[in-house]
Amino acid sequence: MGGTTHESTSSTVKLQKALADAGLGSRRTIEKWIAAGRIRVDGELATLGDRVTPTQRVELDGKLVSRHVQSGPRMLLMNKAAGVEVTRKSATDRRTVFAQLPKLKSGRWISVGRLDVGTTGLLLFTNNGELANKLMHPSTNLDREYAVRVRSLLNDETLERLMRGVEINGVTCRFTDIQYYDGRGSNHWYHVCLMEGRNREVRLLFESQGIMVSRLKRVRFGPFIAPNFVPAGRVVEIHSDEVNAVCEMLGLSIQTRSRGDSKPSNTNRAVLIPYPNLTLPRWYRD
């Protein structure tokens, strides 16, 4: 393609990484844009594998994109409400999560995974594509935990099948853990964990056993928990110390910019829990 440069590879970077570092999206998302023909470099159609220099002109859908590298990653945590879509523009005129986020001077917020319109709870955002990609990539082995309300108690055979694995659309899906939580009458709550969280995977697993999910809420993503101080539909910025701790856990050298918030005034507003290879900020232990 025309975006291929004659410069040495030491002075270039992969196109998807350059745009991810500028906060345009995750690498996976940008690769889809390239494959769909939405990106041009110096006026020519980009292809997967292209590398670019800092001076080359990059356009997305015909518009010049800013490639200013963020000074450091930022993260947001939302307690998603039901009926809100995880999309930038709804095809059905529903409210979208991105309409609720603070504005950025450059780049854009990237959602770390998705929740379907009826699912509530923990949803993460970052302005850094490399961080978003690491958090979502299966090789990182971050589990997701959901609170699930169903209309009946599950017997031992059903629990075993859900843990052993069920083939859904040609893919074997399973929970890595499932625990009874609470319930009375016809409503019973379970907490389930899975590794990737494919589209509607929790609902489809229960439906494969003839069980309908009446409510579904994500309560944890790896070390991040859905704190009770964030009401439904609200979003908070995650403390810079916590962002740095997660980046270190993931093996990323990036550091979030200092916002003069070395310690929050209320440490009960923490959003992380102990997790393998995670070193919690010192003020967690103070």
Q: Which residues are catalytic?
A: 116
Q: Which of 212, 143, 211, 219 is CA-nearest to residue 181? A: 219
Spatial distance between the Cα atoms of 45 and 58, rounded to a whole number of angstroms: 10
- AA letter at 179: Q
Q: Supply the DSSP symbol for 24.
A: S
What is the widest separation between alpha-carbon atoms in the chain? 70
Asked whether 226 and 79 are in contact (CB, 8 A), the reply is yes
Spatial distance between the Cα atoms of 123 and 235, rounded to a whole number of angstroms: 9
Q: Which of 30, 94, 98 is CA-nearest to residue 60? A: 30
Phi, psi dihedrals of residue 101, rounded to the nearest 5°: -90, 150
Count of residues making up the chain: 286
Query: Number of C-alpha atoms within 13 angstroms, CB side, residue 91?
Result: 1
